[in-house]
Amino acid sequence: MSLSDLPPDILLNVCLFLPIYVLKDFYDHLPIGKWKILVEKSLFQNVFYGPALQGEYRYNITLEELMQFAKGELTTRIRSLHLFLQDHLFEAPCIDAFLAFAKKYPDFLSLIPSIKYFGNVSPFQKYSRTVSIRNVVWCVFFNNDSVLLDLIPPKLVKLYVSCDTFDLSFDFPVTLKKLSVRCISNMGRLNLPPNLEDLKCDSAEQIWEEFPITLKELTLVRNMTPFAYTFPENLTNLTIDVVLSINLTEIVFPLRLQRLCFSNIFRKLTFVGEITFPVTLEVLEITDCVISCLSDFKFPMALQKLNLNDSLLTSLDNVDFPLLKYLNISAEISRDRITSMRKAQLPWTLETLIATGQPIEDWSKTILPDNLKTMDIMVAESNNLPYPPCLEVLKVVFKSHRANFRDLSLPYSLVDLSLENGECLLFHWNLPNLKKLSVSQFYGEIHIPRTVTDLYLRGPHQRPFYRLKLPFGLESVNLSFLAKRYPGTLGAISISKYTNNKEVQWPPRLRWLEINSNDLIDRALLKLPPPSVRFLRGTNIRD
Question: Which residue did the predictor score with more confidence, 531 or 284?
Answer: 284
pLDDT average, residue stretch 410-415:
93
pLDDT per residue as tens digits for the range 153-181: 999 999 988 776 655 556 788 999 999 88
Nearest to 487 by CA among 502, 501, 468: 468
Q: What is the pTM of this model?
A: 0.85
pLDDT per residue as tens digits for the range 66-88: 999 999 988 889 999 999 887 76
Q: Between vectors from CA 366 to CA 381 and to CA 439, what angle results, nearest 5°? A: 40
What is the Cα–Cα distance from 506 to 431, expressed in whole angstroms? Answer: 28
Q: Please, which pLDDT band fits residue 184 given cuts at 50, 70 and 90?
A: low
Residue 540 has pLDDT above 60, yes or no: no
> Measured between alpha carbons, how far is residue 324 from residues 262, 303, 312, 371, 494 in Å?
19, 6, 21, 11, 38
Identity at 163, one-letter amino acid code: C
CA atoms within 13 A on the CB side of 176: 22
What is the Cα–Cα distance from 513 to 528, expressed in whole angstroms? Answer: 9
Q: What is the pLDDT of residue 526?
A: 72
What is the Cα–Cα distance from 519 to 499, expressed in whole angstroms? Answer: 7
One DSSP character per residue, 473-510 reads: T--EEEESS--S---TT--EEEESS--TTS-----TT-
Residue 144 has pLDDT above 60, yes or no: no
Q: Please, which pLDDT band fits residue 335 given cuts at 50, 70 and 90?
A: low
Among 43-47, 239-243, 466-470, which stretch is predicted with the lowest mean pLDDT? 239-243
CA atoms within 13 A on the CB side of 165: 3
Q: What is the pLDDT of residue 157?
A: 95
Host H or E run for residue 26: helix 20-29
CA atoms within 13 A on the CB side of 189: 8
Residue 135 has pLDDT above 70, yes or no: yes
Mean pLDDT over the full length of the chain: 83
Q: Please, which pLDDT band fits residue 1 given cuts at 50, 70 and 90?
A: very low
Q: Please, which pLDDT band fits residue 222 given cuts at 50, 70 and 90?
A: confident
Phi, psi of 429 (to 5 degrees): -70, -25
pLDDT per residue as tens digits for the range 230-279: 788 899 999 988 766 566 777 788 989 999 998 876 555 555 667 788 99
For the chain, percent of residues with pLDDT exceeding 90: 34
> Measured between alpha carbons, how far is residue 129 from residues 124, 145, 159, 509 in Å?
9, 18, 20, 39
